[in-house]
Each structure stands twice: as C-alpha cells, then as structure tokens.
Amino acid sequence: MESVNGKSAMQLCGEGFMIANAKTDDGKWDWRTFGTGEGFTADLIIAGFLSADRIQAGTITANKLASDVGQSLDLSSNTSIRMTVENVASKEIEEQIGYRVEISTDAGEVLSDYVKKTTLRARVYRGSREVTNDIAASRFHWKRTSADATADALWDSAHVGVKQFQLTNADVFFSATYTCEISDE
C-alpha cells in the first residue's frame, strides 16, 4: 500500500511487515523488514508518546528525559550522571557550609610586663578546610572592645585590610577584647 503522496509504502506479507521510504534505481520500493513473527525491529521510531515496561538501550539522546522511578534510581553505572549529581550536591553542600574565623597568637593571650607583644592571626575556615589564603586581605576588619569606645573606633580603622598584626601593651587600655570580621566581597 503506497502513501497518498507517493513517498512511502507499507506491505504485509508472509515475510513480515515491510516498510519503505525510498525506491531503488529501477523504481521499485526499497523494502525493509519492520516486523516478523519473531518481533519488530526499528532503526527509527517517531512518536509523541512511547509507553513500555522496560527499555534497554546502549545510548538514549533526549532534550528532556523524565521518569517516575518510584523509591530508587540506580545511577551507579553511569559515570557522567553520577559525576554531575556529585558535583551539584557538592556545590549545594558547599554553599550551606558557613565560614568561621579563629584567632591565634604566638605568645599567649595575655600581655604583661614579661610578655610585651604578640602576633594576632585570623584564620578563616569553611567547614574543615582553611581558606584564609583564598580571601583578600582587604576583607579583614579587626575590632577592639575596651572601656574607651572612641579609642576603639580609631584603633579599628587602623586595623583594616590585614590578616595579622603585632599587638603590644600600647594597644591595650587596661583590658581589651579583639575580634576579626570578614566582610562580604
């Protein structure tokens, strides 16, 4: 049976269900076997909706692939999908992990007549990974809190943009607490 436009034909015979969309040099249809009593073979299926209980394929190419996989989907054998999922998950987790700042000294936490200076260092961590070197010094803002708020403000403005500094007895008015804040980019 030939199509109305003459560009394709189908035939059902004892050999099977035959299809053709081209003709040979002598003008006869170039038949291909689409189906026999053994089953159907297709090198191209054009469909709006394809329903199946199980599909096995070497490669599936799709602009959009959706599936209701029930309780689980095993992607362990597909390296590309697994790597993509791992990368997306890692980025999502990384975005949820906050930063923390730890301040350390090289000569203890208390200045006295015997310990007249020490170096205060701010170390920044994201999760368990130190990221201090990844952050520009300009984002580091040291703050001093003492009994003299005016002097603290002057001290604070002089200690912006450094990851570490040397603290001396001259920086302490009786008692002071030092913190370091990291500004947004």
What is the band of 175 on the pLDDT scale with cuts at 50, 70, 90?
A: confident
Rounded to the nearest angstrom, the gap between the alpha carbon of residue 76 and the centroid of all alpha carbons in its chain is: 18
pLDDT for 161 beyond 90:
yes
At a CB cut-off of 8 Å and minimum separation 6, what does 169 contact?
Answer: 111, 116, 117
pLDDT for 37 beyond 90:
no
- What does DSSP assign to residue 156? H
Rounded to the nearest angstrom, the gap between the alpha carbon of residue 92 and the centroid of all alpha carbons in its chain is: 6
Candidate from 32-36, 100-104, 171-175 with smallest mean pLDDT: 171-175
Q: What is the structure's pLDDT at 91?
A: 72
Pick left, alpha or beta for residue 156 (phi over 0 → left; psi -120 to 50 → alpha; otherwise beta): alpha
In angstroms, rounded to a whole number, what is the distance separating the alpha carbons of residues 163 and 156?
A: 13
- Give the tens place of pLDDT for each residue, 49-100: 777 777 777 777 777 766 666 666 666 666 666 666 677 767 777 667 788 8
pLDDT for 101 beyond 90:
yes
In angstroms, rounded to a whole number, what is the distance separating the alpha carbons of residues 42 and 51?
A: 15
In angstroms, rounded to a whole number, what is the distance separating the alpha carbons of residues 86 and 77?
A: 14
Residue carrying the six token digits 């980025």: 91
Mean pLDDT confidence for 155-177 = 87
